[in-house]
Amino acid sequence: MSIWDDAKGRNHVGVMVSGKRVHRVLPEGATTRDAKLVEAEIRSAVARAPKEVNIPGDPPMSVILALYVEHSKTLRSAETSEFHAKRLGPWATKYMASQAQEFADHVIRDMRQLVEDPKTKRLKPAYAPATINRSLACAKKGLTLAWRAKLTHENHGLRIQNVDVNNRREVFLNVEDVRQIAQHCTEQAQAAIWAALLTGARRGELFQIRTEHIGRDTITLPASHTKTLRMRVIPIIPALRPWLKHFPLTITVDGMKSSWRRARVKARMEHVNFHDLRHSCASIMLSLGVDLYTISKILGNSNVQTTQRYAHLQVDAQRAALDKLSSLVQGKG
The residue from 129, 159, 189 where one domain ends is 159
Task: Kindly tell me the sign of the dihedral angle through the C-alpha atoms of 193, 208, 303, 140.
Answer: negative
pLDDT for res 49? 52
283: domain CATH number is: 1.10.443.10
Would you give the DSSP letter of residue 164? P
| Residues 155 and 199 grouped into a single domain | no
- b/e code 121-130 from CB counts within 10 Å (16+ = b): eeeeeebebe
| Residues 181 and 300 grouped into a single domain | yes
The verdict on residue 167 lying in a domain is no
pLDDT for res 90? 92
Q: At 333, is the pLDDT very low, low, confident or very high (cuts 50, 70, 90)?
A: very low
pLDDT for res 224? 80
Alpha-carbon distance of 263 to 257, in angstroms, equals 10
pLDDT for residue 52 is more than 50: no
Q: At 258, is the pLDDT very low, low, confident or very high (cuts 50, 70, 90)?
A: very high
- Between 23 and 304, the more confident residue is 23
pLDDT for residue 32 is more than 90: no
**Each residue of 75-101: pLDDT tens digit?**
878 889 999 999 999 999 899 999 999
Distance of CA 283 to the CA centre of its chain: 23
Alpha-carbon distance of 250 to 198, in angstroms, equals 20
The mean of the pLDDT values for the chain is: 84
Q: Which residues pair with 166 in a beta bridge?
A: none
Which residue blocks in the chain are alpha helix, DSSP H? 32-48, 61-72, 78-86, 89-92, 100-111, 129-148, 175-182, 187-199, 203-206, 253-266, 276-287, 292-299, 304-307, 311-332
Question: What contacts 164, CB < 8 A, 6 or more positions away?
Answer: 129
Alpha-carbon distance of 270 to 149, in angstroms, equals 50
| Residues 154 and 183 grouped into a single domain | no
| Residues 44 and 69 grouped into a single domain | no
| Residues 39 and 72 grouped into a single domain | no
| Residues 148 and 187 grouped into a single domain | no
The mean pLDDT value for 293-310 works out to 75
pLDDT for res 75? 85
Q: What are phi and psi of 139, to 5 degrees?
A: -65, -40
The verdict on residue 253 lying in a domain is yes
| Residues 43 and 67 grouped into a single domain | no
Q: At 268, is the pLDDT very low, low, confident or very high (cuts 50, 70, 90)?
A: very high
- Is-contact 153 41, C-beta < 8 A? yes
Task: Among 8-12, 40-44, 266-270, name the one with the lowest average pLDDT.
Answer: 40-44
Question: What contacts 113, CB < 8 A, 6 or more positions away?
Answer: 125, 126
- b/e code 15-42 from CB counts within 10 Å (16+ = b): beeeeeebebbbbeebeeebbebbbebb
The mean pLDDT value for 242-247 works out to 95
The verdict on residue 325 lying in a domain is no
How many structural domains does the chain have?
Answer: 3
Would you give the DSSP letter of residue 17? E
| Residues 70 and 131 grouped into a single domain | yes
pLDDT for res 300? 83
Q: What are phi and psi of 23, to 5 degrees?
A: -120, 125
| Residues 37 and 113 grouped into a single domain | no
The verdict on residue 55 lying in a domain is no
The verdict on residue 206 lying in a domain is yes
Q: Which domain holds residue 115?
A: 61-159
| Residues 315 and 199 grouped into a single domain | yes
pLDDT for residue 118 is more than 80: no
pLDDT for residue 16 is more than 80: no
The number of CA neighbours under 13 Å toward the Cβ of 265 is: 6
The verdict on residue 165 lying in a domain is no
In the three-class reduction of DSSP (H, G, I as helix; E, B as strand; rest coil), residue 270 is classed as: coil
| Residues 26 and 89 grouped into a single domain | no
The residue from 132, 159, 186 where one domain ends is 159
pLDDT for res 305? 61
| Residues 82 and 136 grouped into a single domain | yes
The verdict on residue 170 lying in a domain is no
* Neighbouring C-beta atoms of residue 4, cutoff 10 Å: 11
The mean pLDDT value for 216-222 works out to 90
The verdict on residue 166 lying in a domain is no
Say whether pTM exceeds 0.85: no
Alpha-carbon distance of 155 to 134, in angstroms, equals 19
pLDDT for res 87? 93
